[in-house]
Structure 1
Amino acid sequence: MTLLPALPTGTAPDRAGVAPPPGRHLLVLPDGVATDEVEVLAASRFPAARWERPPRIPSGRRSTGATRAPTVSATPGVLRVGRLSTLTGPYALEPARVAAWGLPTDSRVAWVVDCPRERQEGPRFGGDRDGLRRAFGAAGPVREELRVVQWLVAAARRLGGALRVDSGVVLEPDMDAALDLVVLTDRWVEPATVLAAARRVAPQARLDGAGAATGPGAGPDVPRPSPQETGAVLVARDQVGAGVADEAERRRLHAEADAFDAWMRAHPPAAEAFGLQVDLGVDGIVAVEVSAERDVPVVLAGLPWAQGEVVAYRVRWEAPDVEQLEAERPSLAHRVARGRAARVVRSVAREVHADVGGEIADQAGFLVDPVDL
C-alpha cells in the first residue's frame, strides 16, 4: 500500500463536511492506476506534456525493527498538459468524500485539474455520449478547456475512472462505448490480404463495392476494379494525334494509345483506398476501411516509420441504431449488440495487425497492446 496526501478541501464545506477545490475539475481513478499511466495518456494527446514536478509516493510499509527509517512524506506531482493547464496529484480520496460527491464506489485517488475557464454557448445538435451537455449546460467549454475536458473524459474511459467537473456533476464514461480501433502502419497490402485476415475471424467478410484486389492473391469472389475505379485514365481518342498533319504519324500515335489502353486494362493499378464489411445481422456491421492517413496520434509522430506515408486500417462498428451511439446511457439492446460486435472489432484489428505490423490505437488516439485485444 502507498501513502498519499489527502485531497485538499475548499473553504465552504458541503453537507458531508468536505468540499471540492473550488472551480476545478477532478480526474478520479480507481486503485491500481500508476502515475506513469496518466503521464502516457497525457503525452498521447498533448505534444508538450511533461512533469514540472514528478510525484513522490513513498512505500506505506512500516518498519518492524528497533529503529525506524525517517518518514518521507508524499508529495503530489504536477503534470503540465497545456500552456495554461496542469494536473496535480495523485491525492487520496477518503470514503466520506467519495460518498459525498457521488463518485464511483471504487474511486481511490484524484488528480486536480487547473485550466482556464473558457465557456461559450453553442448550437445544440447530435447526441451527448460523454455527458458534456448535461455537465455544462448551454455554455460549454471551448478552446483549451475543451481540449483538456475531452482528454479527461477519454482518460477516465481508458482507466476506468470518472470526471467530476467544477459544477459538481460526475461523468462516468462507459469503457465499452468506444470500441473502434485503427491499425497504423507504413505498409500497404492487397485487399485480399485484409479480407483473409477478417475471414479468420468472420468467414462472412466481403469486400465492399469497388474495393478491389489485384495480383495473384485475389480469389474468384474478389472483384477487380475497372481502370476508372482505380483512378487510371485511358487515352481520349479524339485527342490522339490532334494537330499532327502526317497520316502515318497519326496512325502510329493511335496504335501506341491502343497498346497503352490494353495494358492498363490488363494491369489496373492498386486501389488507393478500399473497404470490407462483416455483416453481423441484428448486431449491425463491422467495417474495415483502408486509406492513407494524414494525422497520426501524437505518440507516433516521432517514430521513423511514421515520417513517410502512413496507412490506416480502420475497424469500426456500424450500429443498428446509429442514434444509440451518441446516447450517454444507451438501451440494453444496444449494449448487448455492442458487446458482441466489440469481440469482432478487437479480433479483426488483431489479425490485421499481425499481417501489416505497426501500432493499434483506440478512438481517443491512445495506443493499445495487441495482447490486450
Structure 2
Amino acid sequence: MTELRLTPAPLSTQMFGLETTSSGREVTHFLALQEYVDPVDLEFLWQCRFPRAAWEVLPAERQVDGAVELTPGVLRVSARSVVHGPYLPLASLVDAADTMSASSQDTAPHPARFAHGTSMVWALTTIRERGEAPVPGGGDRDGLARIFAEGLPTREELRQVTALVALARYLGASAHFDAVEPPSTRMYRIENDQERYRSITPDPAANVDRIIYSDVWLDPAAALRIAQITLPSVQFMPTEVPWEGPEDPSRFLYREHMDLTAEQIESIHEAADQHDREALETANPVSAFGLVFEARDGDIITVEIGGTDELPPALQGVDWAAAGVIEYRISWVPQDLEDWHREIPSFDLRKRRTRYIQMVRDLTKAFYSATSGEISDLDGFLHDPAQL
C-alpha cells in the first residue's frame, strides 16, 4: 500500500481573504476522518448545504521517495468560509506561514485531541460570531449547547457549524470546535489549550427520517395501498375538525339592529342551504394528506404528502422541479420526545430506533419505487436509493 504523506494541521488560523466584520475574527474548526474522502465527493457534500461551494485549489498529489505527498486544497464555501486540507492530525508548532515547511520534529499532539484511528482532518475556517449562552434545559440533539456553553454561534458561524456536524454525522466522523477563547494570543502555545477544543461524534443512526422529492402525485387511495404493503395497519391521519353540516345563518343576523322581513330571512336561509348543497356535491381535489402507523409502544411513523416550495439546496434549480414538487416526508416520532432530543438518548430509545429505522427505509423504498425523484435526509444530503 502506497504511503500517503500529509501536512500537519495548522494551529494558527491561515488567512484566506475572508470577509470579516468589526466584531468577527477568523476561527478554525476540524472534521476528523478515519478514511480518505475523495475531493469530488467532499465538494458535492458541501454543495448539498451550500450550492455554490467549489474548489479554488484542488488537493495535489506528487510522488516523493516512493510515497504520495498530498498538498492541501482550498474549497470555497462562501465569501466568509473555506474548507482546506486534508491534513495530518498533528499540529504544527510553527507559525501558519511556515506550516508547509514544518518537519516531523516540529509537530506535537493537537489540542483538539482527535480520536484514536483518525487518519486525516479537514479544517473549516470561518468567522467567529457568538451570541448568548444557551438556555439550560432545552433539547440539544447536536450537542451545540454543550460545546458552545459560553455563547452559541450565530449567523455565518452557526450555518457552518451545523453543516460540519451534519457532515460528521453523514460520514461517521467527528467534529472538533474551537469553542473557547484561547488563554493566550500566542496560538502556537498549546500547553494550556486542552480545554479550548470541544468535540462531538454524531450518531449516524440518529438521522432516521427520509424525504422523497418528486414530480409525481399519488392520490390518497394509491398512497395508502403502497404504505399498507409495508405496514398493513397504516391508516389515514384523522382530520383536524369533523364537519357537522351547515351552520344556522340566523346566528349572524342581529334583528334588533337590522330591519329584515320574514321573507328576507327565509330567503337568506334558502341561499345558505343551496350553497352548502353545492359544496357537498362538488368534489374538492385533495392537495395534502397524511398517513400514520401507531405502534403498541406509543411511537408513531407518519407519511406526510403535499406540495412544497422548500427544496434542499442540492435540488434547487433542477429542471424537473420547475413545474412543482411533491414532498413525501416519512418520519419516526417516539413517545418520549424529551429523551429523543438529548444528545445521547437512552439505551431503550436507541434500541427501538433500530427497528423503526428499517420501517422508515422500507416505506421510503416503496414510495420511491412509485414516484422516483430524489431522496434526502433531514440534513439535506441526497441518498442513493440502492442503499435502502
* 2:225 counterpart (192, 196, 218): 196
* Residue 54 of structure 1: how far off its partner (Å): 1.1
Structure 1 residues 24 and 105, CA gap change in structure 2 (3 angstroms): same
Question: Which residue is equivalent to 1:222?
Answer: none
Retained in 1: the 8 A contact 2:36–2:120?
no
Establish whether residue 206 from structure 1 lines up as the match of residue 217 from structure 2.
no
Establish whether residue 298 from structure 1 lines up as the match of residue 294 from structure 2.
no
Structure 1 residues 311 and 24, CA gap change in structure 2 (3 angstroms): same
Tell me the distance in 1 between the aligned counterparts of 2:63 and 2:156: 36
Establish whether residue 181 from structure 1 lines up as the match of residue 210 from structure 2.
yes
> Residues 169-227 of structure 1: CA distance to partner in whole angstroms, max 9, x if unpaired?
1110110111111111122211122212211211111111139xxxxxxxxxxxxx979
TM-score (norm 1): 0.78
> Which SS does the other structure have where 1:196 is aligned?
helix
* 1:121 counterpart (132, 150, 164): 132
> Which SS does the other structure have where 1:147 is aligned?
helix
Structure 1 residues 122 and 272, CA gap change in structure 2 (3 angstroms): farther
Question: Which residue is equivalent to 1:87?
Answer: 83
> Which SS does the other structure have where 1:198 is aligned?
helix
* 2:120 counterpart (100, 104, 109): 109
Higher strand share: 2
Retained in 1: the 8 A contact 2:43–2:75?
yes
> Residues 53-85 of structure 1: CA distance to partner in whole angstroms, max 9, x if unpaired?
0112357994xxxxxxxx874211100112110
Q: 5+ residue gaps in structure 1?
A: 12-21, 63-70, 212-224, 239-246
* Residue 271 of structure 1: how far off its partner (Å): 1.6
Tell me the distance in 1 between the aligned counterparts of 2:367 and 2:64: 44
Structure 1 residues 97 and 321, CA gap change in structure 2 (3 angstroms): farther
Question: Which residue is equivalent to 2:181?
Answer: none
Tell me the distance in 1 between the aligned counterparts of 2:359 and 2:37: 28
Map residues 277-292 of structure 1 onto 2, 5 A cutoff: 277-282=292-297, 284-292=299-307
* 1:271 counterpart (275, 286, 305): 286
* 2:28 counterpart (24, 27, 41): 24
Q: 5+ residue gaps in structure 2?
A: 13-25, 92-106, 179-195, 252-262
TM-score (norm 2): 0.75
* Residue 93 of structure 1: how far off its partner (Å): 2.9
Tell me the distance in 2 between the aligned counterparts of 1:285 and 1:143: 34
Question: Which residue is equivalent to 2:186?
Answer: none
* 2:329 counterpart (307, 310, 314): 314
Structure 1 residues 271 and 35, CA gap change in structure 2 (3 angstroms): same
Structure 1 residues 99 and 341, CA gap change in structure 2 (3 angstroms): farther
Question: Which residue is equivalent to 1:65?
Answer: none
* 2:347 counterpart (329, 332, 338): 332
Structure 1 residues 106 and 59, CA gap change in structure 2 (3 angstroms): farther
Task: Name the aligned partner's letter for residue 308 of structure 1.
Answer: A
Retained in 2: the 8 A contact 1:98–1:104?
no
- Greater alpha carbon shift after TM alignment, 265-274 vs 338-347: 265-274
Retained in 2: the 8 A contact 1:98–1:107?
no
Question: Which residue is equivalent to 1:43?
Answer: 47
* Residue 265 of structure 1: how far off its partner (Å): 2.9
Establish whether residue 3 from structure 1 lines up as the match of residue 4 from structure 2.
yes
Q: What percentage of residue pairs aligned between the two structures are identical?
A: 33
- Alpha-carbon RMSD: 3.4
Question: Which residue is equivalent to 1:138?
Answer: 150
Task: Name the aligned partner's letter for residue 350 of structure 2.
Answer: R
Retained in 2: the 8 A contact 1:181–1:363?
yes
> Which SS does the other structure have where 1:197 is aligned?
helix
Question: Which residue is equivalent to 2:170?
Answer: 158
* 2:376 counterpart (353, 361, 372): 361
Establish whether residue 171 from structure 1 lines up as the match of residue 172 from structure 2.
no
